[in-house]
Amino acid sequence: MTRAPLFKRILIANRGEIACRIIATCRRLGIDTVAVHSEADRGARHVRLADQAIEIGPAEAAKSYLVAERIIDAARATGAEAVHPGYGFLSENADFARALDSAGITLIGPRPETIEAMGSKARAKALMEKAGVPLVPGYHGEDQAEDALIGEAERVGFPLMLKAAAGGGGKGMRVVRSAGEFRDALAAACREARSAFGDDRMILERYVEHPRHIEAQVFGDRCGNIVHLFERDCSSQRRHQKVIEEAPAPDLDPALRVELLEAAVRAARAVDYVGAGTVEFLVDRHGFYFLEMNTRLQVEHPVTECVTGQDLVEWQLRVAAGQPLPLAQDEITCRGHAMEARIYAEDPDAGFLPESGRVEALDWPAGDWIRVDRGIDAGDAVSVHYDPMIAKLIVHGENRTVCRARLLEALSGTRVAGLTTNLGFLQQLAAAEVFRDAALDTGYLDRDLDALLDRAAMPPTEVVAAAVLALLPESDAAPSPWGLGDGWRLGEPAPIALDLEVAGTRIPLEARVLGAGAYSIEIDGRQHAFRGQIDPAGAASVAIGDRTWRLRVHRHGDAVEICEAERRWAVHRRARFEAAAGAAGGSGRLLAPMPGKVIDVRVSAGDRVESGQTVALMEAMKMELSIKAEAAGTVGEVAAAVGDLVEADALLLQIEPD
């Protein structure tokens, strides 16, 4: 039987790294690609990579990437035969799928009925219950009256999880531990769900304490074939957002693995699934429970590709074109281990507050065992309008031990200059004993984050020495000794004042260049002699006494990042009399932490507030940010109103402290 031909041209209804990822497979298969973009993304990497691009609206996603009519018009105008939605945006929108079908354009994804059924968590649970897939006890009914939900909450019992029925990605979710917390948590979850999905319906679930999050990759075609491509462990999560994913799931009982994968295939068969999908489960010592089904390609799909050797985007394209699945179940194998770390523009030391701005320099590690899926190049901007993901760093190895070591090595070799990132956090997590032992549960990072990050720790002497090597004044080109920056003078080298700052703490020191790669530094009156060098690629060697350390150095101006095997230190050079960062405060001026939209102002001039009280809410980079009073006092000026679009550091409120 002759296979149906692949598409000649497809439109990618997305942006960032997933759009670039889809383009890569299409280029390999000889398929033309059309990118769509907002005004803010005119020069974006996915626009530069596509064969052609078309603008579809303003920067706000609600006026561009989420407008189905503009996507369809763009597909018609460019002659695209099919649309790949990626993940997020319209990828799980049944109305969009129907509109494409009406326009005679193929959706590279499941049928509209499947998207609709699985997009409603309540309906999905009912279908899974009928298919014999284990469920967490809860409520997924139609009665959404507050009193009805309170009654159901008491029946389910506490702690419980509030979840947006139409949602995903951690939006509209709250853990409620007592009846007294329920009303406020319900209001907040509904508000967030309305903003993210335009739908504030809720479901309730018994909160499973300390579960693992394990998901199965499934695939179906239009011939009735359904297979799994094994499972992934996504238990390292922060605020319900995945951080590091891996495949296969470590230390999973073999019998339970078989049951879980069989249940995933039953779940897909129950909705006659077509295309790529993911069936997510919570796993604890008692067994596994259906969580939800994502009717799209997942962010973490590369780890499955690494261990199976399959290109899941190619599978999607072939199935959407009417071809059967490339492999039968017994032909799909799982070899080795893979991990993926999500690199974000965000500040872990400031509550993971997302950042926006220009990426001034990028360096990626190289190796046959490394893959980088990215949506930006050096010089591109991380926009306030979209998710702050910079890239996904994926590594693979013959087993989990090798894979984890390679992940640490790859993270230390990655540099992103110009923005604060979570690279240091990712290194600490990958190095942590709890991750090494595969003992993470989904709540660990929210529960024990401070212990993991150890923010109060100061860098060891070898790290300070490497920073000194990187930040010492460079020598002039002239051969004269007077043109050197080594502090030379008659008798002995003069000390060079070099003040370093780490995590807001100043480290004043005096450095001396002794010659032939030898140096000394004085910290708090103590002398430390060392030998060291940094090669042009940033590999550093520091020897103190009879010990030598290998480090990685990333420098950008007066800032340098020093990477040990298990930790990254951000070090800044400061002028001797420059104030330390964060020294000012207590003025009562509450400023916008980043550009965004004011969605709630909870106080008026003259109101009394307490320290820690939430006085306003902002929405920025797909997050809801709480603005809290830093001290008790009285509200003076209210400078922002609901609906205002404000820049970073704009005055929101003035509080006169007691």
Q: Where are the alpha helices (DSSP H) in 103-181?
A: 112-119, 121-130, 146-156
Mean pLDDT along residues 477-497: 56
Most confident of 163-172, 207-216, 305-314, 525-534: 305-314
pLDDT of residue 479: 40
Q: Kindly report the CATH number assigned to the domain that includes residue 639.
A: 2.40.50.100
Contact (CB, 8 A) for 385 and 66: no
At residue 55 the predicted structure's pLDDT band, cuts being 50, 70 and 90, is very high
Most confident of 155-169, 181-195, 622-636: 181-195
Arithmetic mean of pLDDT over the chain:
91
pLDDT of residue 362: 96
pLDDT of residue 585: 46
Q: Kindly report the CATH number assigned to the domain that includes residue 495.
A: 3.30.700.30
Contacts 24+ apart (CB under 8 A), 497-501: 497/576, 498/468, 498/471, 498/472, 498/573, 499/573, 499/574, 499/575, 499/576, 499/578, 500/464, 500/467, 500/468, 500/471, 500/571, 500/572, 500/573, 500/574, 501/571, 501/572, 501/573, 501/574, 501/580, 501/581
CA 169 distance to own-chain centroid: 11
* Cα 579 to Cα 224: distance, rounded to the nearest angstrom: 68
Residue 481 confidence (pLDDT) above 70 = no
Q: Do 405 and 475 belong to one domain?
A: no
In a domain, residue 579? The reply is no
Q: Do 317 and 373 belong to one domain?
A: yes
Q: Do 281 and 352 belong to one domain?
A: yes
Q: How distant, in Å, are the alpha carbons of 225, 298, 381 from that of 222?
A: 7, 21, 41
Mean pLDDT along residues 162-172: 82
Q: Kindly report the CATH number assigned to the domain that includes residue 20.
A: 3.40.50.20
Mean pLDDT along residues 309-314: 98
Exposed / middle / buried, residue 524 (Cβ in 10 Å: 0-12, 13-18, 19+): exposed
Mean pLDDT along residues 483-510: 75
pLDDT of residue 491: 55
Which residues sit opposite 549 in a β-bridge? 542
* Cα 652 to Cα 658: distance, rounded to the nearest angstrom: 19
Domain boundary at 181, 206, 231, which? 206
Residue 587 confidence (pLDDT) above 90 = no
Are β-strands 608-609 and 357-358 bridged in parallel, bridged antiparallel, or unpaired?
unpaired
Exposed / middle / buried, residue 165 (Cβ in 10 Å: 0-12, 13-18, 19+): buried
Residue 167 confidence (pLDDT) above 80 = no
Residue 556 confidence (pLDDT) above 60 = yes
Residue 38 is encoded by which pair of tokens? 């907002």
Total residue count of the chain as it appears in this document: 658
* Cα 558 to Cα 535: distance, rounded to the nearest angstrom: 18
Mean pLDDT along residues 598-617: 89
Q: Where are the alpha helices (DSSP H) in 398-516?
A: 400-412, 423-431, 433-436, 444-453, 461-471
Q: Do 428 and 472 belong to one domain?
A: no
Q: Do 202 and 264 belong to one domain?
A: no
In a domain, residue 118? The reply is no
Question: Which helix (DSSP H) or strand (DSSP E) does residue 195 occupy?
Answer: helix 182-197
Residue 477 confidence (pLDDT) above 50 = no
| pLDDT tens, residue by residue, 17-52 | 999 999 999 999 999 999 999 999 999 999 999 999
Mean pLDDT along residues 173-186: 94
Contact (CB, 8 A) for 627 and 614: yes
For 296-405, strand residue ranges (E) read: 337-344, 346-347, 353-354, 357-358, 361-363, 370-374, 381-382, 389-397
Q: Is the peptide bond before 248 cis (omega within 30 degrees of 0)?
A: yes
3-state secondary structure of 593: coil
In a domain, residue 439? The reply is yes
Residue 170 confidence (pLDDT) above 90 = no
In a domain, residue 546? The reply is yes
In a domain, residue 584? The reply is no
Q: Is the peptide bond before 58 cis (omega within 30 degrees of 0)?
A: no
Q: Do 471 and 489 belong to one domain?
A: yes
pLDDT of residue 480: 46
Residue 352 confidence (pLDDT) above 70 = yes
Q: Kindly report the CATH number assigned to the domain that includes residue 424.
A: 3.30.470.20
| pLDDT tens, residue by residue, 234-287 | 999 998 899 999 999 999 999 999 999 999 999 999 999 999 999 999 999 889
At residue 349 the predicted structure's pLDDT band, cuts being 50, 70 and 90, is confident
Among the listed ranges 98-102, 114-118, 204-208, which one has the minimum average pLDDT value? Answer: 204-208
pLDDT of residue 530: 96
pLDDT of residue 483: 46
* Cα 298 to Cα 78: distance, rounded to the nearest angstrom: 27
pLDDT of residue 121: 76
Closest CA to 191 of 599, 629, 615: 599
Among the listed ranges 381-395, 407-421, 617-631, which one has the minimum average pLDDT value? Answer: 617-631
At residue 455 the predicted structure's pLDDT band, cuts being 50, 70 and 90, is confident
Mean pLDDT along residues 481-504: 69
Q: Do 312 and 224 belong to one domain?
A: yes
In a domain, residue 392? The reply is yes
At residue 645 the predicted structure's pLDDT band, cuts being 50, 70 and 90, is confident
Contact (CB, 8 A) for 6 and 320: no
Residue 582 confidence (pLDDT) above 50 = no
The angle formed by the CA atoms of residues 334, 340 and 345, to the nearest 5 degrees, is 165
Q: Do 401 and 475 belong to one domain?
A: no
- How many CB atoms are closer than 10 A to CB 18? 27
Residue 474 confidence (pLDDT) above 70 = no
Domain total of the chain: 5
Mean pLDDT along residues 7-11: 98
**510 φ, ψ (degrees, to nearest 5):** -120, 130
439: which residues sit within 8 A by CB, 6+ positions away? none
Contact (CB, 8 A) for 626 and 633: no
What is the edge-to-edge ordering of all strands in the sheet holding 9-12?
52-57, 32-38, 9-12, 82-84, 106-107
| pLDDT tens, residue by residue, 56-101 | 999 999 999 999 999 999 999 999 999 999 999 999 999 999 999 9
Active site residues: 296
* Cα 384 to Cα 159: distance, rounded to the nearest angstrom: 35
Q: Do 149 and 179 belong to one domain?
A: yes
Domain boundary at 108, 128, 153, which? 108
Residue 333 is encoded by which pair of tokens? 């194998």
Domain boundary at 152, 184, 206, which? 206
pLDDT of residue 533: 95
In a domain, residue 127? The reply is no
pLDDT of residue 395: 98
pLDDT of residue 504: 84
Q: Do 297 and 258 belong to one domain?
A: yes
Q: Do 378 and 394 belong to one domain?
A: yes
pLDDT of residue 629: 87
Residue 275 is encoded by which pair of tokens? 């295309």
Q: Do 560 and 603 belong to one domain?
A: no
- The range of the structural domain enclosing residue 216 comes to 212-453
In a domain, residue 254? The reply is yes
